[in-house]
Amino acid sequence: MLVWFLPLFLLLLMVGLPVFFALLAAPGVMLWLNGQEKDLVLLYRNTYNGMDSFPLMAIPFFMLAGEMMNRGGITMRLVEFSQALVGHFRAGLAQVNILSSMLFAGLSGSAVADTSALGSMLIPAMEKEGYTRKFAAAVTAASSVIGPIIPPSGIMIIYAYVMEQSVAALFLAGIVPGILVGTGLMVVTNVIARRNGGADFPDLRRRATWPEKGQASLKAFFPLLTPVIILGGILGGAFTPTEASAVAVAYAAVVSLFVLRSMSVKDLPDVLLKAAITSSVVLLLVGAAMAFKTVVSLSHAPEALAAFILSLSQNPIILLLLINLLLFVIGMFLDAGPAIIILGPILGPIFVDLGVDPVHFAIIMSVNLTVGLATPPMGLVLFVASSVSGERVESIARAILPFLAIEIFVIFLITYVPAISLAVPGFFGFL
């Protein structure tokens, strides 16, 4: 009987019940129908205990650090730095957009923050240079998915917590896949620009001189130091990820308030509030997911699902292909964070039993669901790119297809070449 809570959960989700309520309502109703009303208290307790976690505190802190970096000059400095490095490439400003996303990913763990911060600056600039608006918006949306792949990353912290993995290992495992996605997007941009014969693409810009490069590097120095502090602190054993995230907040505050003066003390309440609101929603989701996870294990649903999956094939290569398809479809409709919270406890153990490394599986899931943020019809960043650019979602969705193709190719590379994800954490002794 209890096993029916999964279909009920999916039904509630599909008809539009917010994920938080669906995570509690479906198991709650099934426990009640099963005559286990007394266990409802377990759902409540696990929700509370799920939120009461020190490692989880890194989420509000990284959100706060990203929010502070977002204010004012920091995004601009990253763009200028990217311009000096790749601005002279074919489709230069599009390449700048992608490289800026990769750099921005080192400061923020969110694709939405990336799209709104870089899009509001670069989409108008690209249009002014002669790019079509839909292309500019598509490049912004496609490259923003790098945000949660390159560390720090909100979804990796959630995955690590829900699945009891090391945050540091997941952060490290995301570096190469993130760079691969970025490089792939740059190659596709170049190919599109060449094939197009320059019709929609402005003339090549001149290469930045060394003094210009030096000046841009100097201006971007403080923002670019953030990922070094975060990862260096964690890897050097100086801080836990939560402490590193608090240090990142302090660093972002000092740089924004006193060094770059891009933020004033008056802005602080608003910045703190934005981070607090988003964090409270994520905390509730994670808490409810921990309660959901308990009922998942009580219901023997993973065993039933595992038996079904294994009846399709015993070959991990084919199963990984199927799971990628499933994740990709789910990613089209659901944000990466909630999808990881829901699917991680169900799918993770099945694949780990099949011999897939848990860190590798975490990256397959995270990258796949993150790319889902930019896929039609429900990709969140498509909507953000649309509101930032004023272009219709449908046109961006069409223009983004070549970029999605390369992102899907990278997902397959990550899936079938575990070293892409595992080499860096392995090198640092996290495996």
Give dist(CA 388, CA 235) in Å, integer. 37
How many residues interact with another protein (rule CB under 8 A)? 69
Q: Cα dist. 153→66, 172, 213, 271, 336 in Å?
A: 11, 11, 29, 19, 11
Q: Does 394 contact another protein by CB under 8 A?
A: no
Contacts with another protein in 252-271 (CB under 8 A)? 268-269
Q: Pick from 280, 297, 313, 314 the residue near another protein by CB under 8 A.
A: 280
Residues ≥6 apart with Cβ < 8 Å to 177: 149, 363, 367, 410, 414, 420, 421
Among the listed ranges 160-168, 221-229, 243-251, 302-310, the one in contact with another protein (CB under 8 A) is: 243-251
Contacts with another protein in 119-158 (CB under 8 A)? 148, 154-155
> Closest approach of Cβ 282 to another protein, in Å?
5
Q: Pick from 2, 5, 9, 28 the residue near another protein by CB under 8 A.
A: 28
Residues ≥6 apart with Cβ < 8 Å to 168: 234, 235, 241, 425, 428, 430
Contacts with another protein in 34-93 (CB under 8 A)? 40-41, 44-45, 47-48, 51-54, 56-57, 60-61, 64
- Taking a C-beta distance cutoff of 8 angstroms, is the pair 181, 405 a contact? no
Q: Pick from 3, 4, 21, 402 the residue near another protein by CB under 8 A.
A: 21
Q: Cα dist. 149→67, 139, 145, 181 in Å?
A: 18, 17, 7, 9
Q: Pick from 3, 4, 8, 18 the residue near another protein by CB under 8 A.
A: 18
SS (H, E, C) 227-285: HHHHHHHHHCCCCCHHHHHHHHHHHHHHHHHHHCCCCCHHHHHHHHHHHHHHHHHHHHH
Among the listed ranges 90-98, 316-324, 332-340, 403-411, the one in contact with another protein (CB under 8 A) is: 332-340
218 vs 254, beta carbon nearer another protein: 254
What residue ranges bind another protein (CB under 8 A)? Answer: 12-21, 24-25, 28, 40-41, 44-45, 47-48, 51-54, 56-57, 60-61, 64, 110-112, 148, 154-155, 238-239, 242-243, 246-247, 249-250, 268-269, 272-273, 275-285, 287, 333-338, 373, 377-378, 380, 383
